Structure 1
Amino acid sequence: LSSTLRSPPLRPLIYCTFAAIFCYSLYYDVRFQPRLGHTWYLYKAVMLTNANFIIVTVYSVLQALNSIIGSKQLQSHLDFAFYIAVYPIGFVSTMMSCLIGWVLSDLAELRYLLDNKSDINSILHQRKIKDQTTFQCTVAIFWALYFFDPDFVMPEWIRNLIPEWLNQVTHTLPLIYGSIDAFLTRHKCPSWLTLFGVSVVMTFTYWGIVFGVRNIEGYWLYPIFDLLNLEWWAVVIFLVIFLYLFDISVAVFLNFIFWGKQQSESSKKQKRR
């Protein structure tokens, strides 16, 4: 079964199907979805979920094309993109979406906490179970909570703006696609030093965008940042780097499960000799 799925015509068909879904969804988002605050679609890309949506759409098209033409040079670039962007950002953006849903649905209470600091401990204690559950959400938990209590992860006014199928495509499908991609294609993994360096650069680049929006537009992309002091900012920044590396590790692990251990370049050269 594995060899059948990884061979023509099924492999190109699977990739082309995903590419068609992402392309139509992106077209629908650009053409019909409202843009709060700005008219250019590019402004939506400052949100991690939307940025990942664009990245995975471009990647899916190139991967579908390469499943047909079989270019090794293009595949090497796609392999790099898979490890440093497509899979880890898809994972992180899903968890961030869970966090955003929680923040938006409880924004009134967060404002109350800011204005009544004396009551913070008691209110946080009452909400401890809910908060811990939310912060530990994964894709499965996100949609389980969405099914049982949509207001828990996304307020009604946002649900009325975003069709449920588009919500599924932007929040869930990228991670599913990344896992299937890992099964269909053996991605050559860069060195861990490269992965670490890129993860740090990309993390601080996105933090630059977050702080840039705060300074230029006067608001945080994620309202929970209003609650953070300097110490918690340091914790969050390094936590995001750790989470990014963890997600890359998951991608490497998936590749190992589906394809086995990769040979290093030095071992390959020794065998050739």
Structure 2
Amino acid sequence: MLLRIFHVSAASLFWYTAWYDQNFINVPFPNKEYAQYALKGRVTFLTFWCLVLQTIYFTLSVLNDYIGTNADQSKHASLLRTIKDTLFVLAFPVALYVTSAFWGIYAVDKDLIFPDWLAKLVPSWVNHTMHTFILLFIALELVITYRRYPSRAVGYSIVILFNLMYTIWFHCIYYQTGVWVYPIYSVLNWPARVGLQLASTSTALGFYVLGEKLNDFVWTKVHNKMVKSN
């Protein structure tokens, strides 16, 4: 019952945040063309991609609670459970990346990531939902529900594909508008941009490995019990 309440609460908060953002928050863009993109231009930002990812994950978790199973099973998992567990291996590193990047930059220079004029437009609870609670909830999920991680090759492929999709996307936005989604790219040359993107991808892969290791650490006893029973 508590697990269901947790999943419903997380999914509801993320859905409500997305709805509130679309209906009550208006952020000026450096280029008017940005506003022409879907969802009030929010699709240009990794933060919103992450919010959508977490929303989908916890919505699937709610469905799995009611029509699937959370049993510590290693074989014959339902399609819903398989999709949910696979999505987790992406949801965790992306949430960790977004949270660490936002608050890391915030600690160095708040004006670079969340200046006062933006803070007046975005309620504190929305900011924390998008940049704090995403990690808090997915970290709690790691501890309270069991999952099998895929092979390292599959896990890396999922993270790299996601990273590549977003990289291609924000480069397309630059070529369409002439303005970078992230201002730091405007002061870098192309070799530096490539280096930054490679460093970003390496960090995401490192966060994936961290999630895998934490999952193994938390669920070692469960795994050993399953092996003995097979």
- For the aligned pair, the TM-score class normalised by the smaller chain equals 0.7 to 0.9
Match of 2:17 in 1: 25
Superposition deviation, residue 206 in structure 1 = 1.3
CA contact (8 A) 2:42 2:48 kept: yes
Q: For 1:249, which of 209, 213, 221 is the aligned residue?
A: 209
Match of 1:91 in 2: 96
Q: For 1:75, which of 78, 81, 84 is the aligned residue?
A: 81
Match of 1:46 in 2: 44
Amino acid paired to 1:46:
T
Could you tell me how far apart the structure 2 residues matched to 1:262 and 1:236 are? 39
Amino acid paired to 1:47:
F
Q: Which runs of 5+ in 2 are unaligned?
A: 70-77
In 2 relative to 1, CA 261–253 (structure 1 residues): closer, same or farther, beyond 3 Å? Answer: farther
Amino acid paired to 2:143:
F
TM-score normalised to structure 2 length: 0.83
Moved more, 215-224 or 236-245: 236-245
CA shift digits 1:224-266 (9 cap, x unpaired):
11121233123212211211111111211221232117869xx
Match of 2:72 in 1: none
Superposition deviation, residue 90 in structure 1 = 0.9
Superposition deviation, residue 55 in structure 1 = 1.3
Aligned-residue identity in percent: 22
In 2 relative to 1, CA 220–25 (structure 1 residues): closer, same or farther, beyond 3 Å? Answer: same
Match of 1:223 in 2: 183
Superposition deviation, residue 153 in structure 1 = 4.8
- Matching of residue 156 in structure 1 with residue 154 in structure 2: no
CA contact (8 A) 2:50 2:94 kept: yes
SS at match of 2:120: helix
Matches for 1:137-216 after TM superposition, within 5 Å: 151=111, 153-216=113-176
In 2 relative to 1, CA 271–62 (structure 1 residues): closer, same or farther, beyond 3 Å? Answer: closer
CA shift digits 1:172-196 (9 cap, x unpaired):
0110011011112112101101122
Match of 2:73 in 1: none
TM-score normalised to structure 1 length: 0.71
In 2 relative to 1, CA 42–247 (structure 1 residues): closer, same or farther, beyond 3 Å? Answer: farther
Query: Which runs of at least 4 in structure 1 moved beyond 3 Å after TM superposition?
Result: 150-153, 261-264
CA contact (8 A) 1:256 1:262 kept: no
In 2 relative to 1, CA 252–88 (structure 1 residues): closer, same or farther, beyond 3 Å? Answer: same
In 2 relative to 1, CA 193–16 (structure 1 residues): closer, same or farther, beyond 3 Å? Answer: same
Amino acid paired to 1:27:
W
Computing the radius of gyration over CA atoms, which structure comes out larger, 1 or 2? 1
CA contact (8 A) 2:44 2:170 kept: yes
SS at match of 2:83: helix
Q: For 1:235, which of 182, 185, 195 is the aligned residue?
A: 195
In 2 relative to 1, CA 30–152 (structure 1 residues): closer, same or farther, beyond 3 Å? Answer: closer
Superposition deviation, residue 271 in structure 1 = 7.9
Amino acid paired to 2:15:
C
Match of 2:26 in 1: 34
